[in-house]
Structure 1
Amino acid sequence: MNRVKRINMMASVAITTALLITGCSSSETDVTVEKEIIRPVKLLTIKSTDAINIRRFPAELQASEEVDLAFRVGGQIIKLDVTSGQRVKKGDLLATLDPTDFQLQIELAQANQKLAEAQFKRIQTMLEQNATTHSQYDSSKATLDQANNALQTARNQLKYTKVYAPFDGVIASVDTEEFQYVGATQKLMHIQNIDKLEVDFQVPEGLVVSIRSTKADYAPRVIVDVAPDDKLFGTYKEHKTTPDPNTKAYDVTLNLIREGNKEHTLLPGMTANIDMDLNQLLGEVKHFSVPVEAVLRHENTTTGLSESSVWIFDESTHKVTSRAVKLGVLQGDSIEILEGLKENDRVVTAGVHTLTESMQVRPWTRERGL
């Protein structure tokens, strides 16, 4: 009897121990299953490839305003008030011709005008008395008009003996000297506005058609050789529609915009480069590419249309979310994404069919030796 009790007691202990072991094993299995849910995934960080769309064009700085100055009449220069490199203001007197002969022309024109006016008044009085004909009156009136015009011309000729600065600027060069005789329209000097500069460069025919349609706020970077660190940009001003006969390229002009301090002095004729973003110039949209394995294809149950998506990894939560994308062309092992991605997105590139919305994952890292 005692032996039977002892056997029963040993059996009970064995069963209890087995149950405890089973329970522990079950608990450990549950923990193991939980840990397996946080699975590793391969990730691709979307990066911009803008650098391949930047094209550099050689350029040259030009004055926004520049012109050769000359007298409109000929004569001897009696006063030359400027030298090369001198700054001048709009309206400053720059050069003067000897006015003696022009003043004599005014005196002669005044005498002729007075005579013509006296004759006209006499004919007019006679016409009122029917003592002359209308043809004589008309002839006298025409003579007076000619005399008035001659007087005005003589006065204008005297004004043309002085040359004034047409705008604020710098005298770039002086090509004459005092007491030199010059002819009408003969170049005296060259004036430039260097406070507002422009940038001239050439583009091939494939790009010139897109220049004018570029967004007005697009300002490509301008790098001047003598001031490579200055923040310089250019905004569109104009372009020619006929090509250069030698290069077959088209001239384009930008207004130079200067930001920050003006440590370096920039002058017309300095060489530069323009870094043109062809994406913006041509109005192209930035596209990205991902491995083909990263894209899920599925049917929209509402529309019945085929749709595409990728899994995006959230760095803060370590969870994945589905994002719809628009596909472009296939490029080898990759496919172009036209819409749906932005720079620095992290896309899952492998095992995408086993993931679910908001599933927790961890980035896969290559172990040493593998």
Structure 2
Amino acid sequence: MPLRSLSTWPALAVVLACLLLSGCGGDGQAAGNGSASATVVTTQVVALQPWNDTISALGTVKARESVTVTAKVSETVERVHFDSGDEVAAGATLVTLSGNQQQATLQAAEAAAKEAEQQYRRGTELVQQQLIARSQLDTQRATRDAALARVAEMRADIGDRRIRAPFAGVLGIRQVSPGALVTPGTVVATLDDISRVHVDFQVPEMHLAHVARGHALSGTSVAWPGQAFEGEVSSIDARIDPGTRAVTVRGDFPNPDRRLRPGMLLQVQVARPQREALVLPEIAVVQVGRESFVWRVKDDGTVERATIAVGERSAGRVEVLQGIAAGDRIVIEGTGKLRPGIGVTEEAQPPATGEAPAAGGGQAR
């Protein structure tokens, strides 16, 4: 019996050795799995940088001065002095209406006024000689003044038969022809001063503090693709619309080439003053319902969720108002594979030409 027990020792030693080797192999595999479980991502260290965002709005172009030219009296058109699309100076005669009867009436009124003036002067001499009463002279003065007023009335009536441009500008389509009968309110043409134009647009109440007179504006139109029109804020309405909670802002745009026309739709960009801000690529921000968050890399190489408040967005970037600080390392690409506490490694960058490949990405810090 003792000899048989001693013969079993070599077999037991082999079994123990196998168990030990199996345990060591398991530890090595676990370590390998732990290294493989680290998620490869791209990160970026957050830092303050210049930020100059814009406020976008849609606006309607309006002429600096605009009017519909109409007739004041009922009369026949004698002559038209313009063509459609002409540029005219202030006071230029646009249409002449027939006025032969008015001219004859004016001549009669001028003759009556001249006679009344002579009677008044003669009466003045007679009063000085005390040959007539002063009350009679007062009657002659009233007669003279009435005659002069009649002359002025007839001259104004004749003036109404010359339709003039109230200001310099560009005329629209001509609406009358010689020989046509016009009445008060008949449209002759439109007249617009478009050497400079106004653009009215709505700005939400939340942006009111960021808009002021003199701020730079940039506008684009589908009519002129690729061209930007530069202007500035000229005025801000004193009231906010209680229905839309927006304020009307008026921009002033030089228009020397007359490309902007009244009624055009303009995409307006209001440039806000440059400031320092924490800015991230939009792809780094994860939106779940109303909550926005990013994945922040901790010192031990794992990630955590950081809820943030976002500000303005521009050109694929977003301003972060709170939730992270300068110096934090944020995951930019690969956010869809993350969960709290998971380990991450920085994605290896491709080597430059002529350089040997890197040994491997290190753990993100």
Contact kept in structure 2, 1:231 and 1:258, CA below 8 Å: no
1:271 to 259, 265, 283: 265
Q: Deviations over 1:219-245 (max 9, x none)?
A: 121111222321312212234335669
Q: 1:155 to 1:245 in 2, by over 3 A?
A: farther
Match of 1:167 in 2: 167
- Residue 109 of structure 1, CA deviation: 0.9
Contact kept in structure 1, 2:68 and 2:187, CA below 8 Å: yes
Match of 1:287 in 2: 277
Match of 1:334 in 2: 325
Q: What is the letter of the counterpart of residue 332 of structure 1?
A: G
Contact kept in structure 2, 1:77 and 1:97, CA below 8 Å: yes
> What does 1:168-187 correspond to in 2, within 5 Å?
168-187=168-187
- Residue 92 of structure 1, CA deviation: 3.3
- Residue 106 of structure 1, CA deviation: 0.9
Q: Deviations over 1:85-122 (max 9, x none)?
A: 33334443210110212212211211221221232123
Match of 2:99 in 1: 99
Match of 1:121 in 2: 121
CA distance in 2, matches of 1:330, 1:198: 34
Q: 1:204 to 1:136 in 2, by over 3 A?
A: farther
CA distance in 1, matches of 2:80, 2:235: 36
CA distance in 2, matches of 1:244, 1:289: 33
CA distance in 1, matches of 2:192, 2:234: 18
Contact kept in structure 1, 2:46 and 2:325, CA below 8 Å: no
Residue 253 of structure 1 pairs with residue 250 of structure 2: yes
> What does 1:37-186 correspond to in 2, within 5 Å?
46-50=48-52, 53-186=53-186
CA distance in 2, matches of 1:125, 1:369: 119
Q: 1:246 to 1:187 in 2, by over 3 A?
A: farther
- Residue 157 of structure 1, CA deviation: 2.1
Q: 1:167 to 1:207 in 2, by over 3 A?
A: same
CA distance in 2, matches of 1:248, 1:176: 45
Q: TM-score, normalised by structure 2?
A: 0.59
Contact kept in structure 1, 2:49 and 2:277, CA below 8 Å: no
CA distance in 1, matches of 2:245, 2:107: 58
CA distance in 1, matches of 2:83, 2:242: 37
Match of 1:39 in 2: none
2:221 to 197, 208, 224: 224
Q: Which moved more, 1:182-191 or 1:140-149?
A: 182-191
- Residue 137 of structure 1, CA deviation: 1.3
The alignment partner of 1:127 has SS state of: helix
Q: How many correspondences in the alignment? A: 258
Q: 1:186 to 1:240 in 2, by over 3 A?
A: farther
CA distance in 1, matches of 2:360, 2:156: 93
Contact kept in structure 2, 1:235 and 1:257, CA below 8 Å: no
Contact kept in structure 1, 2:171 and 2:192, CA below 8 Å: yes
Contact kept in structure 2, 1:289 and 1:334, CA below 8 Å: no
Q: 1:205 to 1:156 in 2, by over 3 A?
A: same
Q: TM-score, normalised by structure 1?
A: 0.59
Q: Percent identity?
A: 23
Contact kept in structure 2, 1:92 and 1:164, CA below 8 Å: yes
The alignment partner of 1:141 has SS state of: helix
The alignment partner of 2:125 has SS state of: helix
Q: 1:205 to 1:187 in 2, by over 3 A?
A: farther
Q: 1:245 to 1:332 in 2, by over 3 A?
A: closer
Contact kept in structure 2, 1:199 and 1:234, CA below 8 Å: no
Q: 1:142 to 1:210 in 2, by over 3 A?
A: farther
Match of 1:204 in 2: 204
Q: What is the letter of the counterpart of residue 334 of structure 1?
A: A
Q: 1:333 to 1:198 in 2, by over 3 A?
A: closer
- Residue 210 of structure 1, CA deviation: 5.9
> What does 1:291-310 correspond to in 2, within 5 Å?
none
- Residue 248 of structure 1, CA deviation: 6.0
Q: Which ranges in structure 1 are unaligned for 5 or more consecutive residues?
A: 1-41, 295-328, 336-346, 350-363
CA distance in 1, matches of 2:134, 2:324: 100
Contact kept in structure 1, 2:278 and 2:321, CA below 8 Å: no
The alignment partner of 2:238 has SS state of: coil
Q: Deviations over 1:262-298 (max 9, x none)?
A: 6x93322221111123x43xxx84334899999xxxx
